[in-house]
Chains A and B, each alone.
Chain A
Amino acid sequence: MTDQKWRAVISGIGELKPERKTDGVNTMDLLLRVSAEAARDAGLEPREIDGLLVGPQVGETPQHVPATVAEYFGMRPTMSNVVDLGGASGPGMIWRAAAAIEMGMCEAVLCVLGNHRNPVPPRSPNRNPAREFDTPFGASGANTSYALLMQAHMAEHGCKPEDYAAIAAGARANAQRNPMAIFHGKPADIDDILASPMVTSPLHLLEIVMPVAGGDAVIVTTREWARKSPHRPVHLWGAGEKITHRAVSQAPCLTSGPLKPAIERALRQAGASVHEMDFLSLYDCYTIMVAATIEDAGLCEPGEFGNWLRENGGMGPDARQPINTHGGQLGFGQPDLAGGMTHVVEAVRQLRGTAEGRQIAECHTALVTGNGATMSEAVALVLGGSE
């Protein structure tokens, strides 16, 4: 089906159950626990893993992050790095791991992200220019940035609050099929979403992810080594990446983001159309992010995401193109940077056919997106259940 360029495959996954709060937990322990789960899933011994990609360890390990993690894990990798793309870090790790394997730098790469939720989390060490030119006006934090993106989107296209709220409601509905999700057993419909307190207009509380502790890990390896896994390998058909800015004020466009070219590149590499993706695993820090991604992916015209979603039959496993069957981060919880990796892990489950009570009937292809900062760091992956 595709002009295969990427030879490395995904052979292992691990995911921790999110927790609202932790006390005295060391992030390294969370990372190691979820990594061990991914290694077992891949059928690999620890010593066989010779590549390591980690995220920035905010507040704990400002420098020498790969060496610190490798030492803690008892690893001596021949390739390691920090991937620092916010919510796009997880998907960004996958193609970097594949590229490193392709270049002969290593055979099996552990990609791991996670964080604790101990009392008094450190304030963001984020400094200039956002600290100097945004914070003094009363605009600190991601919520306001995405509110500004959403207000611009509403003004340009005339979309209604209930269109965006339907995304949060769809995520909650999906979370009811995932016992791991933080909002499992806590459904919320469109009225509930719109009745939740306004945080920063037009964003309501339930349109914003819940921060949780947790972790996700993925093993990327060669096709040969992937045979050690009891699961069939998941193939990387295409990848795309784009970074455009950091602060929302510097965004080249408020209603379309860098995922547009990233998705285009990933689909081009895969030789696939977005309309034939069996599963859409779309980064969802806020409702507006999914709305903008549906439009940037070319699933519908700009401003038409609400109608498209209704015609799609919602977001569940029975929808025309199911979205975020694990509940998305809006339903699962956002385990810090691992939130972006939950979209990779769920796509792997769907393509393997191991998503149990939420399995999509025929799932051979998946589009995964990652998004960081202020709709400014983007990674897209096209994954396939076969070569």
Chain B
Amino acid sequence: MTVDLADLDVPGPTETALTQPFWAAVEEGRLVIQRCGACGEAVFYPRAVCPHCWADALAWEEARGQGRLKSFSEIWKPGHSGWIPATPYLVGLVELAEGPTMLSHILSGGQEVYVGAPLVFAPTRIGRRVLPCFKIKQD
């Protein structure tokens, strides 16, 4: 991949009123996650009501920005044509230290990519938006 991700013309997130705090934090280079005040579970993606106990008690908190790579794929034929200039690129499933899993764009930084690799939050501009990407943690 030689292209600058910021130059891609790709679909950004379809933000809603509920998810706005998440994307606003990412734009500032922070990762926030919801936690339920009733059952204590961390929640991702954002919800109005806790999916674990259905209590109306979710609040935003700062995430640690640490994770583990549960799986990954190197994409050669993207589902959206806007990604073609970036091929091959990596996406992966990031198990956050708080518990929930999110899909993200993975920056290998030349490090070996493997299931179980430790990851750190790496906010990155892709197209017009800053996205919550992750990179392989340096040894």
Contacts and interface: CB of A to CB of B under 8 A. Distances in A.
B79 to A, nearest CB: 3
B101 interface: yes
Interface residues of A, number: 35
Interface in A86-144: 127-129, 131-141, 143-144
Given A127-B14, A132-B19, A198 B126 contact: no
A68 interface: no
Given A133-B102, A140-B80, A249 B93 contact: yes
Contacts of A140: 78-80
B86 interface: yes
Interface string A140-158: 1101100111011001100
Contacts, number: 110
B103 A133 contact: yes
Given A132-B15, A155-B115, A138 B86 contact: yes
A249 B131 CA distance: 17
Nearest to B76: A198
A254 interface: yes
Contacts of B52: none
Interface residues of B, number: 39
Interface in B108-123: 114-116
Nearest to B95: A249
B73 to A, nearest CB: 4
Given A129-B45, A133-B103, A155-B116, A148 B72 contact: yes
A143 B103 contact: no
| Closest 8 A/B residue pairs (Cβ) | A141-B79, A140-B79, A155-B115, A147-B73, A152-B71, A201-B74, A137-B105, A249-B103
26 contacts: A127-B14, A132-B16, A133-B13, A135-B11, A135-B79, A136-B126, A138-B80, A138-B91, A139-B73, A139-B79, A141-B79, A148-B91, A151-B73, A152-B71, A152-B93, A155-B71, A155-B116, A197-B76, A197-B77, A198-B74, A200-B76, A201-B73, A201-B74, A249-B102, A254-B70, A254-B71
Given A133-B13, A136-B10, A136-B126, 20 more contacts: A128-B14, A133-B45, A133-B102, A136-B13, A136-B131, A138-B80, A138-B105, A147-B73, A148-B73, A148-B93, A149-B71, A151-B115, A152-B93, A152-B115, A199-B76, A200-B73, A248-B93, A248-B103, A249-B101, A249-B102
Interface of A: 127-129, 131-141, 143-144, 147-149, 151-152, 155-156, 197-203, 247-250, 254
